[in-house]
Amino acid sequence: MPLQDAITRYAQRVDEQLQQWLLQTTGPSPLLQEALGYSLLLGGKRMRPLLVYATGQALGAPLAACDRPAMAVELIHAYSLVHDDLPAMDDDDLRRGHPTCHKAFDEATAILVGDALQTLAFEVLADARQPAALQLVQSLAEASGSRGMVAGQMLDLQAEGRQLSLEQLEQLHNHKTGALIRAAVRMGALVSGADAATLQALDVYAAALGLAFQVQDDLLDVTGDAATLGKKTGADAQLNKATYPALLGVAGARSHAEALVERACASLEPLSGDWLLLQELARWSISRNH
């Protein structure tokens, strides 16, 4: 399946699933429900669900077995974006070309939306009929919390105004961006019953992909177009954040991203199965313009 067709197909599938879950979990506050839908269904690349589906399919998992992990990882990602945009964090006004949640509603609502999206992710996963349910919950929890994404956000805040080494910058992004990407790949493998050697090889792929994706995000903040990105550019420099272009220069950052993609693709070569989609995704991660 060509990459763009896969992106469209799996994005549609996960969006339909998420819409159904929002309808099934309607609570007593119409305002909260409206804000949840606003934050979750504004579109986006849906790359993390795509990683769940692509990994699971490459290893022979039924498509339906990938639905809950795909939804769960996107719910965590959506929560992280809502909180990341808050005034106490990055203080962003736009997300995907629309006002951020705290701008469209208010700051208190945005905090509660993030809380609700996070807990909904684990409600989605906590189903005894789901293959490897306990392992899925554990993987997503570890990737989301104080050893994963939240730790990365804390390191990012602490890094403002500081000069970081490449090792420190990669530690930051291995947590902030990479942890959830690694969890998505791992969850797709877990529902297929992958063995330890396969899980290890896929973790190498996902770690390299997560860093490459972040390098491209940093580059787009310098070289990208705000209308295409759907958010303002130059925010990293304005906040005096440590980034790959600031550390390596634009050309050096691009070269580093290419090396990471080569590492990601090479890690899949020893594995049996059709890994073309994941390899194409790695290459796309550093050629995209949004």
Domain ranges in the chain are 3-284
pLDDT over 80 at 235, yes or no = no
Q: What's the pLDDT band for 273 if we cut at 50, 70, 90?
A: confident
Q: Is the pTM here over 0.85, yes or no? A: yes
Task: Name the pLDDT band for 18 (thresholds 50, 70, 90).
Answer: very high
- Report whether 66 contacts 56 (CB < 8 A): yes
Predicted local confidence at residue 204, as pLDDT: 98
Contact by Cβ (8 Å): 117, 77? no
User: For residue 19, is pLDDT > 70?
Assistant: yes
pLDDT digits (tens, 9 = 90+) for 92-109: 999 988 999 999 999 999
For 188-222, how does the pLDDT look when each residue is reduced to its tens digit (9 = 90+)?
Answer: 999 999 999 999 999 999 999 999 999 999 999 99
- Write down the pLDDT at residue 229: 64
pLDDT category at 128 given cuts 50, 70, 90 is confident
pLDDT for the residue 234: 67
pLDDT digits (tens, 9 = 90+) for 149-187: 999 999 999 998 888 999 999 999 999 999 999 999 999
Q: Is the pLDDT of residue 256 over 70?
A: yes
What is the fold of 3-284?
Answer: Farnesyl Diphosphate Synthase (1.10.600)
Q: Is the pLDDT at 21 greater than 70, yes or no?
A: yes
Question: Under a CB-based contact definition with an 8 Å cutoff, are residues 202 and 139 in contact?
Answer: no
